[in-house]
Amino acid sequence: MANNVCSECGGRIVGLNYSSGGKNYCQTCFDKLTAALSSQEAEKQELLKYIREVFQVADVPADVVSSISREIKHGKTTKGIRSTIRYYYFIEGNPTVNISNLPYIIQEQYEVARAYAKRIKEVKEKNAEIDLSTESVNIKINPRDLDRKNQKKVAYNIEDL
Ligand SMILES: [Zn+2]
């Protein structure tokens, strides 16, 4: 009677069986699974919207979308990818001309952007600790990123990486 046992919690399924991907779930676990999948999907849609805005295109090419889906499946987060794009194109100031390069940029710059975000966080923490810091810190900052809102967003993303 394996069919009556939930694949997620191992509990006995009372009433209706919910199946997904050949597995059976109790209603509670099925609802949780569905909610997790739909919030993942919503996050991905948000990311794609951001990419459309950055590159000023009506659609993200299918191969770029599938590459991003693959990266997410393999452990990159939508927030991390977003930070990478912000870092590479707006902090480093690279031109947003070729959207086809994006999968390559994400692969190449993800860890770089992460290290940059970590550095910014450390500097901020240091500045908070010591009012008169005598240490000199070399960080390349694009004037566009001096906008308070942007900096806040970058700092927020670091903690979530
Ligand atoms: Zn369950």
**How far is ligand 1, taken at its centre, from the CA of residue 5, in Å?**
8
Of 21 and 45, which is predicted with more confidence?
A: 45
Q: Which residues pair with 24 in a beta bridge?
A: 19
What's the pTM value of the predicted model, to 2 decimals?
A: 0.66
Q: What is the mean pLDDT of residues 54-65?
A: 97
Where do the H-state alpha helices sit in the chain? 27-55, 62-73, 78-85, 102-129, 148-160
Q: What is residue 143's predicted lDDT score, i.e. its pLDDT? A: 64
Q: What is the mean pLDDT of residues 79-100?
A: 96
Residue 102 CA to residue 86 CA, distance in Å, equals 12
Residues 117-157 have pLDDT tens digits of 999 999 999 888 876 555 565 666 666 665 555 444 444 45
**How far is ligand 1, taken at its centre, from the CA of residue 38, in Å?**
18
Residue 71 CA to residue 89 CA, distance in Å, equals 19
Residue 10 CA to residue 144 CA, distance in Å, equals 53
**How far is ligand 1, taken at its centre, from the CA of residue 23, in Å?**
11
